[in-house]
Amino acid sequence: MKTFICAFFLTIAGIIGTWESEYSRPAICTYYDPCTNISTFTDNSGNDWEWENENDEVFEIGKAYTLIMDDNHSSSIYDDLIKKIK
């Protein structure tokens, strides 16, 4: 029973931690490198974010997207990562 309670607590803590660290950021696709299959997105603050495209992903240059970000539980945006793109 103690093992079950501990596992349940750790699962809930992980879910809450993930939820707290996730945020969205509007950005425009500004560049695509076909050699590396990496798209670059520029947000409203001028920060560039890179995303390695999956096989079926195609992002249109100049089109606006929403980046779902993970803040890595820090106050600096320079270590944030893109989790997915909408």
pLDDT beyond 50 at 13: no
Q: What pLDDT, on a 0 to 100 scale, did the predictor assign at position 64?
A: 97
pLDDT beyond 80 at 46: yes
- For residues 46-66, average pLDDT: 93
With CA atoms as reference, report the closest residue to 85 among 62, 51, 44.
51
What domains can be seen in the chain, in order of their start residue? 23-85 (2.40.50)
Confidence category of residue 8, pLDDT binned at 50, 70, 90: low
Confidence category of residue 11, pLDDT binned at 50, 70, 90: low
With CA atoms as reference, report the closest residue to 70 among 12, 30, 25, 10.
25
pLDDT beyond 90 at 54: no
